[in-house]
Amino acid sequence: MKRRDFVGITGLAAGALWLPSVPGFAAGDAVDPLRLLEPGPDVALKKRMADAALNAAKAAGATYADVRIGRYLNQGVFTREKQVQNIVSTESYGAGVRVIANGTWGFASTNQVTEAGIAKAAQLAVQIAKANSKVQKEQVKLAPQKGFGEVEWKAPIKQNAFEVPIKDKVDLLLATNAKALENGASFVNSVLFQVNEQKYFASTDGSYIDQDIHRIFPTFGVTVVDRASGKFRSRQALSSPMGLGYEYLTPKAEDKVAGPQGSGVIGYKYSYDMLEDAALAARQAKEKLTCKSVVPGKYDLVLDPHHLGLTIHESVGHPLELDRVLGYEANYAGTSFATLEWKAKGQPYGSKQVNIVADKLQPGSLGAVGYDDEGVKTKEWNLIKEGILVDYEKIRDQAHIVGQQESDGCCYSQSWQDVQFQRMPNISLKPGAAKLSVDDMVKNVEKGIYIAGNGSFSIDQQRYNSQFGGQVFYAIEKGKITGMLEDVAYQTNTLEFWNSCAAVCDQSDYRFAGFFNDGKGQPSQSSAVSHGSSTSRFNSVNVINTARKI
């Protein structure tokens, strides 16, 4: 077993010594929480440093250069039952310089953010580019990008989570645990992750972009154990990591969305009621101990956005990454069925109801930024229109491959010390245009299952065959929810699945599911992404029963 395995067995709360290796937490120095409130270097200093890097790169022979000066702040609060397990705050500060010399990329990074240190990194990047140009087959072709001058973008948060006293966060998590225990949980773990990326980007195109990005992720897991039968069941939080501040943790009635009548499920939009969800989670986990085991077969599935987000992520988000389509991820994440040749045939990816957009704009989403990590202004674009694949996810050096003139603005690096590359933007299913509530959707289902929350997930390396579980499952019989089910997973093929999409609820049901730690690349980098959708219906999907005897 290797070190990554160690983290696996001992869990997230093993100790702060290891926290920087937890995915989603950029490696950094463990610091006093008050340090997270101190301002980073001012813009004038960052501009001076950036110019030092760009000038050094040009002087060394670069035809293009960009520099990212980043301060990455993280905090995690970990609890179980009545106790705090760990509180850790980290800070990481440095700069990464990327250049093109002899038509080839080079990259170097440094934590010595001085004019001399950053210039040295720029020179090294050029040296590396030149060395590598000897084995380069084709020159880098960058989509043109105008400079924006000195601009800034700040995430529209209401309350910086780092300004909230640790005690308040601990109190919230312990209150969450108490709610779960009161409602029958045997065990409960709760965690609050907070991230602030202070990123400064500058390039030889003439952009100096200062951005302030915030992410928050409250979550928990409850387990109910029945000692007599030896059975145990869990339910994870139905929260979502969001591109929001601490305001996400102040519940608002207008952000609560009820699941179908009879399910008791509550979904959350832009604010989250952690205590309410913990109480419900404990009751649902308890009910799982005695509810019916599913009879395998074909069912019409009604999937809530928290669940559907993961299916969108795996079966649309990943197969449409252009580097993956072309084979650059073949040894790790795999390739894609959605090749350029497949797209050219114009076969349906999904039914007419399936309209999928990519964006880096939606307020509150994890992907939202003003500009990406190569200085491209972010936008929204169509990937699937009325079931037909119309575009991919691509960055500046990929646009020409599909005959386009501009990047989609979805380049990202997890830290100043890693090179930026194409990452998944927000990928969302557009809500149905016609008015349709979840209850109206369920009303028409003869034999189906309503699934809320994302659970177990697995998909093949070309994104055809997938299997998804969930957090809670309810039988639908003759248009009504008739009770909870257990041991449910569905197996499907991406094209069959999206072509079986029969209806999508309207905007009033639309909300995000988010993922904090999407992995890609070797060495692997983590990124955060949201997926918006409304509850949707998929007809005649193959459901298996996952119960076994050992």
Partner 1 sequence: MQEAISQQLTANSQQLIAQKDMAILSKDEAQAILKKVIGFSTADECQANLNGRTTGNIRYARNSVSTAGAQDNVSLAVEARFGKRSGIATCNEFDDATLRRCVQRAEEIARLAPEDPEYMPLLGPQQYLTPVSYAASTAAITPDLRAQAAGDSIALCSAKSLTAAGYLEDGAYFQALRNNKGLEAYQQSTSLDFSVTVRTPDGTGSGYAVADYTDVAKFNAKSLTQLAADKAAGSRNARALEPGKYTVILEPAALVSDEGLLNNLMYSLGAREADEGRSFLSKKGGGNKLGDKLFDPRITIYSDPLNAQAPSGVFDYEGLPVKRMNWIEKGVVKNLYYSRYWAQKTGKAATAFPGNFIMEGGTQSVQDLIKSTAKGILVTRLWYIRDVDPQTLLYTGLTRDGTFYIENGKIKFPIKNFRFNESPIIMLNNVEAIGKPVRLGGNLVPPLKIRDFTFTSLSDAV
For the stretch 56-90, what's the b/e string if a residue is b when 16 or more beta carbons lie within 10 angstroms of its beta carbon? bbbebebbbbbbbbbbbbbbbbbbbbeeebebbbb
Task: Give the DSSP H or E segment for 405.
Answer: none
Give the interface segment with partner 1, choosing from 198-206, 262-270, 369-377, 395-403 (CB under 8 A).
395-403
- Residue 65 is a binding residue for partner 1 (CB under 8 A): no
What token pair was written down for 114? 């001085």
Q: Which segment (240-248, 365-373, 458-466, 499-507) binds partner 1 by CB under 8 A?
A: 458-466
Nearest one of 297, 257, 265, 305 to 281, comparing CA atoms? 265
**Beta carbon of residue 176, minimum distance to partner 1 (angstroms, whole number):** 16
* 223 binding partner 1? (CB under 8 A): yes
Q: How far apart are CA 412 and CA 360, in angstroms?
A: 11
Shortest Cβ 325–partner 1 spacing (Å): 10
> According to the binding rule CB under 8 A, does residue 540 interact with partner 1?
no
405 lines the binding site for partner 1 (CB under 8 A): no
444 binds partner 1 (CB under 8 A): no
Q: What is the rounded CA–CA span in Å between residue 397 and residue 390?
A: 19
Using the contact rule CB under 8 A, the part of the chain among 143-151, 360-368, 435-443, 488-496 near partner 1 is: 488-496
Q: Is 63 in the site for partner 1 (CB under 8 A)?
A: no
Pick the binder of partner 1 from 331, 344, 345, 434 (CB under 8 A). Answer: 331
CA-nearest of 201, 213, 203, 207 to 95 is 201
By C-alpha distance, which of 452, 450, 437, 454 is closest to 530? 454
Q: CB of 149: closest distance to partner 1 in angstroms?
A: 26
Q: Which of 68, 71, 98, 313 binds partner 1 (CB under 8 A)?
A: 98
Residue 57 Cβ, how far from partner 1 at the closest point, in Å?
13
Rule CB under 8 A: is residue 69 a binding residue for partner 1?
Answer: no
**What is the DSSP code (8-state) at residue 352?**
T
Of 138 and 254, the one with the shorter C-beta distance to partner 1 is 138
Q: Which residues contact 372 (CB under 8 A, 6 or more apart)?
A: 360, 378, 395, 407, 409, 410, 411, 412
Stretch that binds partner 1, among 105-113, 201-209, 440-448, 509-517 (CB under 8 A): 105-113
State how far the alpha carbon of 313 is from the alpha carbons of 185, 317, 457, in Å: 31, 5, 11
Cα-based angle 20, 22, 28 (whole degrees, multiple of 5):
15
524, 535 contact by CB (below 8 A)? no
CB of 270 to partner 1, least distance (A): 30
Which region among 143-151, 241-249, 252-260, 542-550 touches partner 1 (by CB under 8 A)? 542-550
- For β-strands 380-385 and 29-30, DSSP reports them as unpaired
State which residue, 109 or 211, has the beta carbon closest to partner 1: 109
Q: Does 303 bind partner 1 (CB under 8 A)?
A: no
Establish if 550 lies at the interface with partner 1 (CB under 8 A). Answer: yes
The answer to whether 401 and 93 have CB atoms below 8 angstroms apart is no
Q: Is 111 helix (H, G, I), strand (E, B) or coil?
A: coil
* Range in contact with partner 1 (rule: CB under 8 A) among 149-157, 207-215, 324-332, 500-508: 324-332
Q: Which helix (H) or strand (E) holds 291?
A: none
Q: Please report whether residue 100 would count as binding partner 1 according to CB under 8 A.
A: yes
The alpha carbons of the chain give a radius of gyration, in whole angstroms, of 24
- Based on the shown chain and the rule CB under 8 A, indicate whether residue 293 belongs to the binding site for partner 1: no
Which of 75, 194, 398, 534 is close enough to bind partner 1 by CB under 8 A?
A: 398
Q: Does 539 bind partner 1 (CB under 8 A)?
A: no
Q: Is 394 exposed, middle or buried (0-12, 13-18, 19+ CB in 10 A)?
A: buried
Which of 400, 435, 447, 478 is in the footprint of partner 1 by CB under 8 A?
400
* Polymer length of the chain: 550
2 binds partner 1 (CB under 8 A): yes
Contact status: 230 vs partner 1 (CB under 8 A)? yes
Q: Show the tokens assigned to 328.
A: 């650059």
Residue 376 beta carbon to partner 1: minimum distance, rounded to whole angstroms = 16
Which of these segments, 83-91, 266-274, 347-355, 371-379, binds partner 1 (CB under 8 A)?
83-91
* For partner 1, the closer CB: 45 or 330: 330
Q: Which residue lies nearer to partner 1 by CB, 339 or 437?
A: 339
The answer to the question of residue 141 lying near partner 1 (CB under 8 A) is yes
User: Counting contacts by CB under 8 A, is residue 318 touching partner 1?
Assistant: no
What is the x/- site pattern for partner 1, positions 13-32, by CB under 8 A?
-xxxxx-x--------xxxx
Assess contact for 509 and 305: CB atoms under 8 A: yes
Q: Locate 78 and state its tokens.
A: 């970990």
DSSP strands (E only) in 102-181: 104-110, 149-154
- Residue selected from 283, 430, 463, 520 as contacting partner 1 according to rule CB under 8 A: 463
Q: Give how far the C-alpha of residue 114 lies from the chain's centroid of Cα atoms, to the nearest Å.
A: 33
> What's the rounded Cα separation, in Å, for the pair 13 and 11?
6
For partner 1, the binding residue among 45, 111, 252, 292 (CB under 8 A) is: 111
- Any idea what the Cα angle at residue 81 is, between residues 76 and 86, rounded to 5°? 25
Number of residues that bind partner 1 (CB under 8 A): 110
Considering the rule CB under 8 A, would residue 55 count as an interface residue with partner 1?
no
State the nearest-atom distance from the C-beta of 212 to partner 1, in Å. Answer: 24
Cα separation, 435 vs 335, in Å, equals: 38
59's CB contacts (< 8 A; 6+ apart) are none
Query: Which residue, 14 or 383, is less far from partner 1 as judged by CB?
Result: 14
Query: What is the footprint of partner 1 within residues 360-389 (CB under 8 A)?
Result: none
